[in-house]
Each structure stands twice: as structure tokens, then as C-alpha cells.
Chains A and B, each alone.
Chain A
């Protein structure tokens, strides 16, 4: 299960740390974009299942995903244009607070649209189980793992091998110099947000398929943990983000499972969420640039 959590979470926030370095912006609203993706997909899936259409479960899930991706892309684009672009040259704190504000607005909008209850994922996906070295793995977990790996590889290829990827890396290093080289920084940044939001939609559908439910508040903790994983692995580093997510998932699961035994019952597994943030504190204190991060000096 650690794998699933890690696979679900860490790849979509590559985009965010990428731009954190240059734009000095931490997109706290990304968790909410994931949530919106999950809710839109679930609405479509529930509507399809409710209307009695005779389609295989996988197809219905994919249709939900296809509905969620453009919705999230539009949302990400809107957020960037309305909330972040006007603050491009503002002091560092302004976009940070704005991001938190956007996050709160999105949570409450979702609450108004979809209500405050848990929305269940209809049981349309295959529920097969397999035994592997003493652990049980379900079909959904395998699908999530494969999807994550494929998307990670695709994103890495995009960033390392294509012109757009080069433009993104250039803009991340310095928007002004990249502009001098003929890269339209605004377009690149918008595109990156849109891509990141599309990936967030996929993550949202995966999380809601895995847990079987979604609700308006799920983005909050997801965003925080993804950010922790990014910091753990090293901001601005794709492999670092991957490693950070995986490591965080494993630490959290093992910690929650065995903390009771280690402390003789003094601390219990209800401290599960604490582990993610405790690890974050340790990393920030001892190795602020993350496990694989480059030590980036202050820009002149």
C-alpha cells in the first residue's frame, strides 16, 4: 500500500517544484485541483452507472477520466491567469498566500457543488487480488503503479528531450533570459500549469478509485503530503520527487503500523499523518535542499 500511495502522489507535483525555484511559487491549490478532478470524474461515472448504460467498468472509468482532464486543465489555466500571473513580480509571500486563498475558495466551491458527504466510487472496477511474497496486491494497485510509471517516464522524456521541455527548463532557470532567447515565458508557464492540472486529474481519479470515495476536503492533506515529498526528494529534481514520494509513503505506512510496538503502546497509529510532517521537519533541519536536491544559491 505504501507503493500505491507513493505512486499516486509523487509524480504530479514534479511540475510544482520545477517552478518553485524560478517563480518562487508553491502551488498550494494543486491538491484542490486533484480533488476537483476526482469529483468531476465521480459525477460522470455515477451518472453513467445510474443511467444503466451497458459498458465495461474500465471504459466508464476512462470516460470519467476524460471528463476530468479538460475540467482540471481549464481550472489550472484559470488559477494561473487570475491568481498567480498578476503577482509575478510581487514579493515572494504574496503568491504563497494567494495560493492558500485559492485552495480555500476551491474547497468551499466543491462543498457547495457536491455537498459535504463522502461520494462513493461505484464498484465497477475489477477487484481481483494476488499474493506476492506474503503481501496482497489488488488489480487497482497494479493499474495505479503502471499508470504512474508510464506517466513519469512520459513527463521525463517531455522535459529532457523536446523543445517544449527545453523551453520549460530555460524558463525555470530564468524567465528573463529565456525571454531573450525567444521563449515566451508566459505561454510556457501557462502550459506547465495546464499539464500539471491534467496530471492532477489523473491522480484524483486514481486516489478515488483506490479508496472508493472522494470528498471536498481530500485535497488538503494530499497537497501537503505531496509538497513534503517534493521537499524530501529535492525541489527542482524529477528523480528526487519520485524518490521522495516513495520514501514518504513507505515511512508513513511502516511508521503507523509499528509505532505502537516500538513505544509500547504510548504512541498509537493515530499519529499516522504526523510521520509525513515529522520527516519534513527533519529534512528541512538537516538537509534543506532535499535528498537529491542541488544546492541552489540565491539568485543575484
Chain B
């Protein structure tokens, strides 16, 4: 016969679970504002994801310390940080979880491949979303009024890279590798378009994944086509080993990449073989921006060296909170129209959104690895 005590405990436990699970929490009650932050906190890109989270956290802590008052009430921001593992499927699960926990805004995600599916969930819930780093064109092309980004998109970045490769680097035969993610593929396609328009010949197009570390087969195949330049659309966990293996094979072509490659981690993974690689990053160099040096000092003192997108996450939080201040409320329906009218000078530059949610009038800076560190080569300003 079952013990009556056990029975009672079981019933109590079930009741607690049932009551605890019901009811959505209102994120604006009791002066707490919940803002979500999503990035890959585990996996090969964990260093970039943590960087995003730290940038957002720095902003949130500063705002809380300075005191935030909305509509006469003192408010406190809670940053709910989640891990999407750079995986589109996990991204949607995490997005739903955040929406259910009552966030009023989200800074995320990091990868275009996870930002795009998650944006549908945020849009359906009416939650404004600002991505610090998703650059694929498809993100804002969906027509969601809740989708914004503070980084210039790949249409411009790919365009600048393509022109630079042909006009400045003089490449005539170009091989392209991409990692088949929304970001890598999109950037590589834009690059190919621009390079072809500038008169170069695309001698090879190869593919890999965002989990690979072995590129010998595709690099050997590319080597046989003798390109002047190899373009890689993807992130640094692939770019690092790729640079190493290029040198191992004796493939002396110039390596060119996008913002996913322009990180300290790339130099760490490729070691001495990173020397000479060129990559672009939207925006001006951080130190050239007003407030950029101060941000770098604050961030580095607390979290260590900046990986890549932390300044963008920082600006994204400020943009969101500024819109809330102008609307006098943290309710998504009230501050969303203010968000669209943003005109903010951040550490990454002047932030103004166009009708699609892209940041208008950006620049792209090209960097090269010299003596084991990234050095800026030149900045190209957009004509849009």
C-alpha cells in the first residue's frame, strides 16, 4: 500500500508546479524592465556571444547606476541573457522563452542565421528587437516593424569588399568559400556580385559548414585554380584554421573576409599564419569615434579585450532606453514608434534607422593583420 505521506507530498509538489507555471509575468510591473540579450554563449563562437552580453551588461549597469525614471517612476533594468548556440532551432526556442518571461525588448541575436527566425517570434509578440551584429539583408527585408539593427548590412559590406578586392588589391582571379549560413552565404553572394561587376573572374566557389575545422580538400581544389585572392564568408572559428591550412598547403593567395573574421580570436587560432589577412568591419574604428576610447577603457577594465560586437550591443541598449525615455514608458507598443525615430550618437557612430530598420549612412573599415594584431587600412564611406 502506498504511503499516505508520500501521496500528500506528491500532490503538494504537483500543485506547486501547476500554480507556479500559470500566468505570464508582466515585465513592466513593480518598476522592473526586462530586456533580453541573446547570443551564442557556448560553442565555437562563445567568445563572441559573451562579448555581446558584456557590452549589453555594461550599458545596463551604467543606466541603472545613473538612475532611470520613466513617466515619473523609478525603473530598474534586468538583463535576461540567453544562449542560442548560433543555432536557428535553438534561437526560436529561446526567443519564445524570453517572450513568455515578459521582456519588453531584446538585444539580439548575434548571428543572422538565428536572428532571422527569432525575429518572427518577436514580431508576433510586438517586442522590439535590435540586433548588434546580424548583417544579412534578409533580416530587415522581411518587413517587420520590430526588427532593427545598429550595424551596416551585408549589402554594403559585400559591395565594399568586392570593389576593394578588385580595385585596391588588384585581384583578377578570385575563389570564394562560404559557410552556408545566412550570414556567410549572403555576404559571399554580395561580394561575388560586386567583384564580378568590377571585372574579376570568380574561378571557384566552395562551401563548408559553421562546425568544420578541416578545409584541406576544398583548399587543394582551389589551389589548383591558382587564384589571386580567396574570400571567406563566415566566422572566426572557421577562418582561423582556414588561414593556417592555406599556409600549410602553400596557397599564397590573399585571404579576405568580413566582420565575422575580424576578431582577436582569429589571430589566436591562426597564429603566425594570420599575418597579412584582410577583413572588413562596418563602422569606423572604435578609437576614431567620440566616446570610443572611453568605452574601450571601461569595457577592457571590466571584461578584458573587446572581441568584436560589444560596442554595438552597448549602443543598442542605449538606443532602446533612449526611445523608452522619449515615450515616457517601457511598454513596447508605446516606445516602438519612438525607436523608429532614433537619432542617437553612439560609440559606434550616428544611429538613425531607415524605413526597413537598417542603420542609414554607414561606413566600412578594412583591417589587416600586421605583426600579430589588426591594423586599420582604410575606411570607405557609403554613398547611400
A278 within 8 A of B: no
Number of A-B contacts (CB under 8 A): 80
Question: Taking the complex as formed, is A289 at the interface, i.e. its CB lies under 8 A from any CB of chain B?
Answer: no
A123 is an interface residue with CB less than 8 A from chain B? yes
Of the residues B43, B47, B237, B271, contact of A212 by C-beta under 8 Å: B271
B123 on interface, CB distance cutoff 8 Å: no
A80 within 8 Å of B (CB atoms): no
In whole angstroms, how far apart are the Cα atoms of A116 and B50 in the complex?
Answer: 12
* Interface check A136, CB cutoff 8 A: yes
Contact of B217 among A138, A211, A252 (CB under 8 A): A252
Q: Taking chain A's interface residues, is the majority helix, strand, or loop, or is none over half, making it mixed?
A: mixed
- Per the CB 8 Å criterion, the residue count for chain B at the interface is 31
Set of chain A residues within 8 Å of B207, measured between Cβ atoms: 268-270
Contact indicator A213/B241 (Cβ below 8 Å): yes
Instruction: Return chain A residues, CB-CB under 8 Å to B220.
Output: 1, 253, 257
Residues of chain B with a CB closer than 8 A to A212's CB: 241, 244, 269, 271
Over the window 193-216 of chain A, the binary record of Cβ atoms lying under 8 Å from chain B Cβ atoms (1 yes, 0 no) is: 000000000000000000111010
| Contact status of A253 and B271, CB under 8 A, knowing A117-B47, A118-B44, A136-B250 | no
A253 / chain B contacts, CB cutoff of 8 Å: 216-217, 220
Given contacts A116-B42, A260-B206, whether A269 and B213 have CB atoms under 8 Å apart is no
Q: How far apart are A259's CB and chain B's nearest CB, in angstroms? A: 9
> In A263-288, which residues have CB < 8 Å from any B CB?
265, 268-270, 272
B74: which A residues are within 8 A, CB to CB? none
Residues of A near B248 (CB, < 8 A) are 129, 136, 138
Do A118 and B237 have beta carbons less than 8 Å apart?
A: yes
Chain B residues with Cβ below 8 Å from A138 are 248
Most chain B CB within 10 A, of A115, A211, A212, A258, is at A212
**Residues 238-253 of chain B: 1 if any A CB is under 8 Å from the residue's CB, otherwise 0?**
0011001000111000
Question: For residues 164 through 213 of chain B, which have their beta carbon under 8 Å from a beta carbon of chain A?
Answer: 180, 204-209, 212-213
Contact residue range for chain A?
Answer: 20 to 34
CA distance A87 to B43 in the complex (A): 35
Interchain CB contact under 8 A, A260 and B217: no
B46 close to A (CB within 8 Å): yes
Closest A residue to B251 using CB positions = A136
Task: Specify which chain A residues have a CB less than 8 angstroms from the CB of B213 in the assembled complex.
Answer: 118, 211, 213
B162–chain A nearest beta-carbon distance, Å: 20
Q: Which of B244-270 contact A (CB under 8 A)?
A: 244, 248-250, 268-269
Closest residue on chain A to residue B244 by CB atoms:
A212
Is A211 a contact of B272 with CB atoms below 8 Å?
no
CB <8 Å contact, B269 and A211: no
The interface residues of chain A lying within 8 Å CB-to-CB of B100 are: none
> Chain A contacts of B240 at CB under 8 A?
213
Known: A120-B269, A253-B217, A272-B217. A260 touches B43 (CB 8 A): no
Interface residues of A (CB under 8 A from B): 1, 5, 115-118, 120, 123, 127, 129, 131, 136, 138, 211-213, 215, 252-258, 260-261, 265, 268-270, 272
List 20 A–B pairs whose Cβ atoms lie within 8 Å, in order of A's numbering. Answer: A1-B216, A1-B217, A1-B220, A5-B214, A116-B42, A117-B46, A118-B237, A123-B272, A129-B248, A211-B213, A212-B244, A213-B241, A255-B217, A258-B221, A260-B204, A260-B206, A269-B207, A269-B208, A269-B221, A270-B208
